[in-house]
Amino acid sequence: MDIQAQLKLAIAEAINSLFNVPVETVILQPTKKEFEGLYTFVTFPLTKTTRKPPVEIGQAIGTYLKENTTIISQFNVVQGFLNLTIADSVWVEELSAILANPDWGQLPSRNESVMVEFSSPNTNKPLHLGHLRNNFLGDSVSRILKANGYDVVKACLVNDRGIHICKSMLAYQEFGNGETPESTGMKGDHLIGKYYVWFDKAHKQQIEELIEEGMPREEAEKKTPLLLKVQEMLRKWEQGDPETVALWKQMNEWVYAGFAETYHEIGVSFDKTYYESETYLLGKDVIEDGLQKNVFYRKPDGSVWIDLADEGLDQKLVLRSDGTSVYITQDLGTTDLKFQDYPVQRGIWVVGNEQDYHFAVLFAILRRLGRPYADGLFHLSYGMVDLPSGKMKSREGTVVDADDLIEEMVETARNRTRELGKIDDFESEEATRLYHMLAMGALKYYLLKVDPKKRMTFNPEESIDFQGHTGPFIQYTHARICSVLRKAAQLGIDPAGSLNLVELADSEQQLVYLLTQFYQRITEAGTDYAPSYLGQYAFELAKAYNQFYGELSILSEPDADKLKFRVALSKAVVETICKTMELLGIEVPTKM
């Protein structure tokens, strides 16, 4: 039982014993900083039943706790607020229990499974900064749910077909001259992305030419020679034309090889990858099923719709009059497939907030179809990432490419580390690994520390500061603690085994208190799908340790029991920082 639970139980017993008033719920709140204590119990609500003034109630409960339990060392009453200070013996016991727990940071199995679908790239362009926020969110939420005791399946749906894919294919056919990733020295996804941008520029030029010839803009945008060719290419692909399909396969293979490099670089992997080219025809059976159940209705032109007006979602087309699918049709079929492949209780989609309406419609339809899994669906919606220079647009080639950004971050980490003189050998393999670790720590932490729903601006320089609310600050603190533990080991100080009771400073109490919050923070982050909670927690731990480190002597402490306690405390903090950052997908260095 944690400290808060013990204290609540003790207060309930005190009230019952002193005033013969049974209490079902005891509410504690953090003590205000201007008063001494950790937890505060408000006595005002008891005045009616006890017919006693709030100060007298507080004094009586505080005295009872001090005389009948070992949980508090002292108390003070300010008006109707009973402020309680936890006894040092409790903190020592808590730290001992943390160090003795081999599964620290892992909650028991819930015997429930969940699928997290994220990344969802298109094969017409490389991953960009927006994809990084998506990948880091999906990966971190998967790790957090696993720590919460769920079996987790990480899935990715690749958008590998459609008109936008054909744009890159046509541009390559028209302008590519047979170049390959090998002949150009470019990653495959970058090469194909180049042709997507190329198509857009050429298409815009043709629009202007048609307008100059007297065609209205709206018509010109639909009738450029390039766009007509792209539409013909898509028809050929759907009919299985061998030459078109061969080009599609070759270009996609180049892209997948490029994606694999980026995923490896950012430490992200998947248990299952779905391809839209294999699932886009699914869903028509779902529509037929829905027509028989009167969930959908057919209009005179043959198109199929659903009326979701009573849910504030209007009418929605689910099948065109010519019998072809729309995007929601594909998603209905793919969702059925996912739940057939994996017996999960929950499905989470990590997708940007521009798709909020789409997922509201998808989930509403699945509920009306009576799918048994329909109540376990969740859209983890997140805001876009801007740069100080503004919004990104992939068609115009103004996006921040993920690979370029990672390279820039590594270079920034290298320069910043050299400026600060953090390591001795700047060119070793170990140093190269450290630069990458710091770069990824800066990037992931900056994108994950913000509430997912918020639109944000990414500032590369700010993200890699060793002193601010950043990943490198926490990574540096971890390395500092590892250094303390190495020196302690050299001095023969072993933090293992039982700890003797010592008088604790406020900074020591605060650190143990923060450690006892670990499971609660993991649970809250899992409940709300919010890695930002753990980002904040890691920062609080690092900041509190630095305060402790600055105020108290550790290795030169003359009292052997205090020395052992502080080394043991350092060990528990370093392990908790490491596990917390791991839940964010961030590695931490042991030395810098």
Q: List the domains of the chain with CATH numbers.
A: 3-86 (3.30.1360.70), 113-282+325-386 (3.40.50.620), 417-584 (1.10.730.10)
- In Å, what is the CA distance from 552 to each residue of 484, 505, 545? 13, 9, 10
Q: pLDDT tens digits for 195-224? A: 999 999 999 999 999 999 999 999 999 999
Of the candidates 539, 535, 510, the one whose C-alpha atom is nearest the C-alpha of residue 522 is 535
Whether pLDDT at 178 is above 60: yes
Rounded Cα distance between 511 and 470, Å, is 20
Q: Which residues contact 247 (CB under 8 A, 6 or more apart)?
A: 169, 172, 173
Mean pLDDT of the chain: 93
pLDDT band at 460 (very low <50, low <70, confident <90, very high): confident
8-state DSSP, 203: H
Of the candidates 471, 469, 462, the one whose C-alpha atom is nearest the C-alpha of residue 438 is 471
Tokens found for residue 143: 């790790």
Q: pLDDT tens digits for 108-119? A: 999 999 999 999
Give the pLDDT of residue 184: 95
Upper half-sphere CA count for residue 5 (Cβ side, 13 Å) = 5
Of the candidates 381, 507, 386, the one whose C-alpha atom is nearest the C-alpha of residue 451 is 381
Q: pLDDT tens digits for 473-528? A: 999 999 999 999 999 999 999 988 889 999 999 999 999 999 999 999 999 999 99
Give the pLDDT of residue 592: 82
Give the pLDDT of residue 416: 85
Place of tokens 């940071």: 105
Rounded Cα distance between 388 and 382, Å, is 19
Of the candidates 32, 43, 88, 30, the one whose C-alpha atom is nearest the C-alpha of residue 504 is 88
Q: pLDDT tens digits for 374-433? A: 999 999 999 988 877 655 444 444 578 899 889 989 998 988 888 877 666 656 888 889
Rounded Cα distance between 330 and 449, Å, is 34
Q: How far apart are the first and last CA of the chain?
A: 38
φ and ψ of 348, to 5 deg = -120, 130
Give the residue with greater pLDDT, 395 vs 177.
177
Taking the mean position of all CA atoms in its chain, how far away is CA 486?
32
Upper half-sphere CA count for residue 586 (Cβ side, 13 Å) = 32
Residues in the chain: 592
- Strand boundaries in 111-183, DSSP class E: 113-117, 151-158
Rounded Cα distance between 587 and 440, Å, is 8
Whether pLDDT at 585 is above 60: yes
Rounded Cα distance between 323 and 52, Å, is 77
Upper half-sphere CA count for residue 344 (Cβ side, 13 Å) = 25
